[in-house]
Structure 1
Amino acid sequence: MSRADHVAAFLAAVDLTWELANTAPVRDSWSQESSCAGMTVGGLTHHLLNQAGNTARGLQADPRPDEPIPLLAHYESAAWVRADLDDEVNVGIREGDNERALAGPDAVLAAAREDIDALPDLLTRPRDPDTIFIPWQGWALTTEDFLTTRMMEMVVHGDDLASSVGLEAPTYPEGVITPVLGLLTGVAVRRHGQTAVVRALSRPQRAPEVVSAF
């Protein structure tokens, strides 16, 4: 997939995320518990929309000369990937998003809209090196790999948010879902092994009970 196609796919995922977050069921359920235990619908919406915000902030920061790490190495190194739901790193994520959601849907959506509107211009600016440093992790990814991580977050948490308010999950274009499924499959293979994932996809009678990427 070309860089232009990758950017177009990312922006399509952002648009679908915005449409879901801006629905009446989400607004009406803002303070209720979401499908993600310990996170309100508002907190989950903030977390979902913040994928666009994190991208905008990453693109606005000056590129650093750090050598980017491979995409799957990012998930091997990130503390939250193997942490339990009640571990400090995951509790901190949930509490932070819940707290920011207390500003209410209008404020959260307005702030997200500013980030979203800035993305097309930011994504077409030349960057040297073409990487994004992730301050909360301490390493850099190529810009395209970073966009893939954000698309994965939007797809997974888009389903979480839709299920929280009784809506159908968004249907994403091929340019979004193909790299996201490739990423999830790659992480699952590293966690559970090649045979387990192949069987889960093709031989359910021999498949392990769980091959979740996270």
Structure 2
Amino acid sequence: MVDLTDLRTDLTDESAQLDDLVGALPPDDWARSTPAPGWTVGHQIAHLAWTDHVALLAATDPDAFLASVTSAPDPTRLVEDGAEAFLAPPAELLARWRVGRVALTEALAAVPAGEKLPWYGTRMSAASMATARIMETWAHGEDVADALGVTRAPTGRLRHVVHLGFRTLGHGFAAHGRAVPTAPVRLELAAPDGGTWAHGPAGAADRVVGPALDFCLLVTQRRHRADLALVATGPVADEWLDVAQAFAGPPGAGREPLVGRGRAAGAAV
């Protein structure tokens, strides 16, 4: 069980890594297109700033958070509208993101133990909220890195994305309108430090193995499974790799394969 203090530190560090990537960018680079259709580098940071803002509301003023949900002009466009609302000139946006993310980490520390925060379609503990913010910051950071042609080295903070990706197995199936499987799945991933991160019973017939980075790219829908070195054994594990998503809400469109049709890298046996 991860300590909230450690989670807050990792969230701060993940945000700082992305800040290092965008902090000194010239204005033209903020307008670069990212792999997310219609989203620039600026949109990616604006989305993070907006999500930190609504997470802060959930942690400090649940009624205001719920009011922001019920008063939304189009609930199906919350994410898009939030990013557009927070989009601003780079210096202003950067300052707002920095202030907001610090305020959120401080607010999460003040959430009473056992209290659940309202969120979109669910309720979350402070630890779960911090884990989700790490996942989102890392995933949108990947979009920014792709836009800038930068390859980021994976860190041990990916363990939080792995944890969330495994915990949301059933959600991925349900979000795609499929029956949630009852068969257990074993997940064994090669960690950035050379170790192994494992989840699920060791004797499970259904298994997914491969690099932790590839699993994180899959569950955040930053890469198509055909481009990843993940191997699924068993029908449940194989189907999971088609529907996995670590984020709340309806299924995303995902990314088109880069290596062409088929499953050249992500195999099923």
TM tier, smaller? 0.5 to 0.7
Answer with 110-119 or 159-168: which moved more.
110-119
Classify the secondary structure of the residue corresponding to 1:133.
strand
Which structure's residues are more often strand, by fraction? 2
Aligned residue for 1:68? none
Larger radius of gyration: 2
Rounded to whole Å, the distance in 2 between the matches of 1:127 and 1:196 is 33
Identify the structure with bigger relative contact order (alpha carbons < 8 Å, sequence gap 6+).
1
Percent of aligned pairs sharing the same letter: 20
Classify the secondary structure of the residue corresponding to 1:29.
helix
TM-score, with normalisation over the residues of structure 1?
0.68
8 Å contact from structure 2 (residues 46, 93) kept in 1 = yes
Answer with 139-148 or 15-24: which moved more.
15-24
Q: 1:133 aligns with which of 102, 115, 118?
A: 118
Aligned residue for 2:46? 46
1:97 aligns with 2:83: yes
1:157 aligns with 2:140: yes
Rounded to whole Å, the distance in 2 between the matches of 1:150 and 1:177 is 12
8 Å contact from structure 2 (residues 47, 82) kept in 1 = no
Rounded to whole Å, the distance in 1 between the matches of 2:161 and 2:168 is 11
Aligned residue for 1:79? none
Q: Count residues with an aligned counterpart.
A: 185
| Aligned residue identity for 2:165 | L
8 Å contact from structure 2 (residues 116, 124) kept in 1 = yes
Aligned residue for 2:265? none
Aligned residue for 1:2? 3
Q: 1:184 aligns with which of 134, 156, 165?
A: 165
Q: 2:209 aligns with which of 184, 196, 201?
A: 201
| Aligned residue identity for 1:161 | V
Classify the secondary structure of the residue corresponding to 2:124.
strand
RMSD over equivalenced CA pairs, Å: 3.5
Classify the secondary structure of the residue corresponding to 2:168.
helix
Q: 1:213 aligns with which of 237, 241, 244?
A: 244
Deviations 1:120-164 (A, max 9, x none): 542332536533222xx2542111111111111111111111101
Rounded to whole Å, the distance in 2 between the matches of 1:178 and 1:32 is 30
- How far 1:200 moved relative to its partner? 4.2
Structure 1 residue runs without a partner (length 5+): 65-87
1:148 aligns with 2:131: yes
The 5 A counterparts of 1:22-171 are 22-24=23-25, 27-61=27-61, 89=76, 93-101=79-87, 103-125=88-110, 127=112, 130-134=115-119, 137-169=120-152, 171=154
Structure 2 residue runs without a partner (length 5+): 65-74, 174-180, 188-205, 211-229, 246-269
| Aligned residue identity for 2:11 | F
8 Å contact from structure 1 (residues 63, 130) kept in 2 = no
Which structure's residues are more often helix, by fraction? 1
